[in-house]
A and B are shown apart, each in its own frame.
Chain A
Amino acid sequence: MSRLAANLRIIGALGRRSIRQTFRRPQLMAPIIIFPTLLLAVQTGGAGSAVNLPAFPEVNGFLDFMLAGAMIQSALLAGNSGGIALAVDIEMGFTDRLLAAPISRFAIVLGRLAGTAALGAFSAVYYVVLGLIFGARIEEGVIGVLLMIAFVTLAAIAFGGIGAAIALRSGSASVVQGLFPLVFVILFLSSAFFPYELMLEPAATVAEFNPVSFIVEGVRDPVISTLTGEDAWKAFASIAAIGGISLGLSSLALRHRLRVGS
């Protein structure tokens, strides 16, 4: 077996463990499915008439607009849950078990992110199905759905890198868990739940430059209109930038942890 194939097998095994861990620990699964679903239900039910406001973008229904926000919320929380799970591994010494094995050190992070990616894909499929059941219409059809799943999966990896970096640097699940409210601040300062046009300043300007907005718009675009290259490109670039930075920070945090040995 080549070195690459062996490493991929190890990353796959760690990813599968990560997925099982999430499904077996309800407090890791709840933020990915239950919270965004509840928020989606409450907002769609309570603020559905917002689509009639003059500045609201043209959509088939409020659910169509909100679907992307719920998906990215889920991806952000999947990243946070992955970070919490990694920190729990550090706290209980499971990471030492992995570090004492003859594997690439970064495989520990990549294994965790592989699991987060799978959870991202799972949640994307879940929200597409949920949306379709409750009457959402995806303008771009199957290609649009595949693009949405791809963006949400990649976004989960990018956000997971942030969770992993903080977990590796702090070694504390409660520190990573403490970022939970920040996820909502980031989301509410983006176009996830409100169109830019309806936001007040300075929130509108912050949202306009918030990379999460670009990702949300990339996921939303195939739902509410025919695909535009610009939205997709901006979403991909934002994911790449966040992913590059977060994986770089994870790598630095891992090196620090290995150096200080605690």
Chain B
Amino acid sequence: MSAIEVRGIEREFEGGVKAVRGVDLDVAAGEIYAFLGPNGAGKTTTVRMLTTLLRPTGGTARVAGHDVVAEAGTVRESIGVALQEAALDPLMTGRELIRLQATLHRLPRAEGERKAEALLDRVGLQDAADRRVGTYSGGMRRRLDLASALVHEPRVLFLDEPTTGLDPVSRKGIWEEVRKLNADGATVFLTTQYLEEADQLADRVGIIAGGLIVAEGTPRELKAQVGKPHLEIAICDGEVERAREVVATLGRPLPAKDGLVLLELEGGAGQVAPVVRALDEAGLAVESLDLVEPTLDDVFVAKTGRHLETEDEAPAEEAA
């Protein structure tokens, strides 16, 4: 059964700005699905519709088997939401916030307190639990936000740009936690503008631009759509032509670039060893050898004609 099932969902804001223009989605139970796109692509608007914070102006969506408009209350009982920029009250303590969240989800007081302690332990915030959130670092805030989204053990978890603005260490900590949650059975729908995040975490990726999904698949499938891995070989003594001849039968030679021998390898890393052996047997000294794989940015460029990480903010997402 799909944990998230979306058909032609649309959202038009006052003034005629269409932030989402007919998105279809199917996210299987137990999957990590990443919605990848630049600011203004429609990611947050889509998440707000799926979490019942915003009514769609067209199309339908079901989350955890319930319609987001007709059964909004039931949807809210089934989902956990960690919002962009961690919408936390800086005047509350971490413990107060998780306990409040437990009350909002109607957990009995004793159970809410027990869950709060367990979650504070889980995200490593027990020592800071009685400090005001305003004193927390960005990473601590995100961990607290994540913990508060888990208090009622939701079946589907929505994480809106969970690592935006975090340092690499904090980012990896959040990834680790997301993987654990997924291993425990939660379906995770996350939005991100980071290629690496989608690549590392997601079972499947949907690339959204201009309010439309322009590509969807596993990271490997998406990359395969735009090209195969290739080797970039730098040869000592400039014997580039001879090196090209030696490796020509081991892959598909590509035009040389910057004095490098380029060889497309359909099998990726598995085909590197024969190339190294062939060069060695031919007495050619290799200065460097890099296996270059297509990235999700290559996919983004192929689908939209623009690089993901140089996108400017667009007004539609701000309106959302």
Cβ contact within 8 Å between A100 and B53: yes
In the assembled complex, the Cα of A55 lies from the Cα of B272 at a distance in Å of: 103
Q: Is the CB of B76 within 8 A of A92?
A: no
- Give Cα A262 to B315, complex, Å: 13
**Distance in angstroms between the alpha carbons of A101 and B76 in the assembled complex:** 6
Question: For residue B108, which residues in chain A have a CB less than 8 angstroms away from its CB?
Answer: 1
Q: Give Cα A25–Cα B52 distance, bound, in whole angstroms.
A: 31
The stretch among A5-13, A44-52, A66-74 that forms the contact with chain B is A5-13
Cβ contacts under 8 Å, A14 to chain B = 100
**Are B83 and A9 in touch, CB under 8 angstroms?**
no
B87 interface contact, C-beta 8 A: yes
Name the residue of chain B whose CB is nearest to the CB of A25.
B91
1/0 contact string of A9-34 vs chain B (CB within 8 Å): 11001100100110011000000000
Please name the residue on chain A nearest to B158 by beta carbon. Answer: A100
Cβ contact of B96, chosen from A1, A17, A25, A94, cutoff 8 A: A17
A13-B100, A17-B100 given as contacts; is B89 within 8 A of A100 (CB)? Answer: no
**Given B14, B51, B88, B103, which contacts A94 in the complex, CB threshold below 8 Å?**
B88
Rounded to whole angstroms, the CA-CA distance of A25 and B79 in the bound complex is 32
Pairwise interchain contact A100-B52, C-beta atoms closer than 8 A: yes
Q: Is the CB of A97 within 8 A of B87?
A: yes
Question: Is B265 in the interface zone, CB < 8 Å from A?
Answer: no
Select one of B85, B105, B319 contacting A93, CB under 8 A. B85
Q: Is the CB of A93 within 8 A of B91?
A: no
Q: Number of contacting residues on B, CB 8 A?
A: 35
User: How close is B239's CB to chain A, nearest CB, in angstroms?
Assistant: 61
Residues of A near B74 (CB, < 8 A) are: 102
Known contacts: A13-B100, A102-B105, A261-B55. The answer to whether A96 contacts B92 by CB under 8 A is no
* B13: A residues at CB distance < 8 A: 260-262
User: Are A101 and B91 CB-contacts (below 8 A) given A1-B106, A93-B85, A261-B48?
Assistant: no
In angstroms, how far is the closest chain B Cβ from the Cβ of A133?
A: 31
Count A/B pairs, Cβ under 8 Å: 81
- Report the minimum CB–CB distance from B118 to chain A (whole Å): 19
Q: CB-defined interface of A210-249 with B at 8 Å, one 1/0 digit per residue?
A: 0000000000000000000000000000000000000000
Given A92-B87, A94-B87, A261-B48, check contact A10 B103 (CB 8 Å). yes
Residue of B nearest to A23 (CB): B91
Question: Hey, which chain B residues are within 8 Å of A92, CB to CB?
Answer: 87-89
Shortest C-beta distance, B11 to chain A (Å), equals 8
| Contact across chains for A9 and B103 when beta carbons are under 8 A apart | yes
B283-303: which residues lie under 8 A (CB-CB) from chain A?
none
Separation in Å of the B71 CB from the closest CB of chain A? 11
Cβ-based interface call for A139 (8 A): no
Cα A14 to Cα B79 with chains together (Å): 21
The answer, yes or no, to whether B208 is at the interface (CB within 8 Å) is no
Are B319 and A262 in touch, CB under 8 angstroms? Answer: yes
Given A13-B100, A98-B104, A102-B106, A93 contacting B55 (CB threshold 8 A): no
**Separation of A93 and B51 alpha carbons in the complex (Å):** 14
Quote the shortest CB–CB distance from B273 to chain A (angstroms): 52
Which residues of chain B are near A24, meaning CB under 8 Å?
A: 91, 132
B104's nearest neighbour on chain A, judged by CB, is A101
- Verify B51–A100 contact, CB threshold 8 A: yes
For this complex, 27 residue pairs linking A to B, each with C-beta atoms less than 8 Å apart, are: A1-B108, A6-B106, A9-B103, A10-B104, A10-B106, A17-B92, A17-B96, A92-B87, A93-B85, A94-B87, A94-B88, A96-B53, A97-B83, A97-B87, A97-B101, A99-B53, A100-B76, A100-B79, A101-B101, A101-B104, A102-B74, A102-B76, A102-B106, A103-B104, A260-B13, A261-B13, A261-B320
Nearest 3 interchain pairs by C-beta: A93-B87, A261-B54, A101-B104
B binding-site residues for A, Cβ under 8 Å = 11, 13-14, 48, 51-55, 73-74, 76-77, 79, 81, 83-85, 87-89, 91-92, 96, 100-101, 103-106, 108, 132, 148, 319-320
Given contacts A101-B76, A260-B14, A261-B13, 4 further A-B contacts (CB under 8 A): A94-B89, A97-B87, A100-B83, A102-B73
Interface residues of A (CB under 8 A from B): 1, 6, 9-10, 13-14, 17, 20-21, 24-25, 89, 92-94, 96-103, 258-262
